[in-house]
Amino acid sequence: MTEKRAREFEFTDDDFERIRKFVSEHTGIVLTVAKKDMVYGRLSKRIRKGGFGDFSAFCDAIDNGDEEQQEFLINAITTNLTSFFREEHHFEYLANEVIPELVKLKSANRRLRIWSAGCSTGEEPYSIAITLKEALPDFEKWDVKILATDLDANVVDHGKQGIYRAERIEGLSAERTQRWFKRGRGEQADLVKVKSELQDMISFKRLNLLHPWPMQGTFDLMFCRNVVIYFDKDTQRVLFERYAKMLIPNAHLFIGHSESLYKVSTDFDSLGKTIYRKNH
Residues labelled as active-site residues: 42, 150
CB distance 133 to 139 below 8 Å? yes
Query: Which residue, 250, 197, 261, is CA-closest to 224?
Result: 261
The arrangement of strands across the sheet holding 143-150 comes to: 202-206, 143-150, 111-117, 219-224, 247-255, 275-278, 268-272
CB 126 within 8 A of CB 194: yes
Q: Note whether 151 and 208 are within 8 A (CB).
A: yes
- Whether residue 228 contacts residue 236, with contact meaning beta carbons closer than 8 Å, is answered with yes
Rounded alpha-carbon distances, angstroms, from residue 31 to 38, 39, 132, 149: 10, 9, 36, 22
Q: Are 129 and 146 in contact (CB under 8 A)?
A: yes
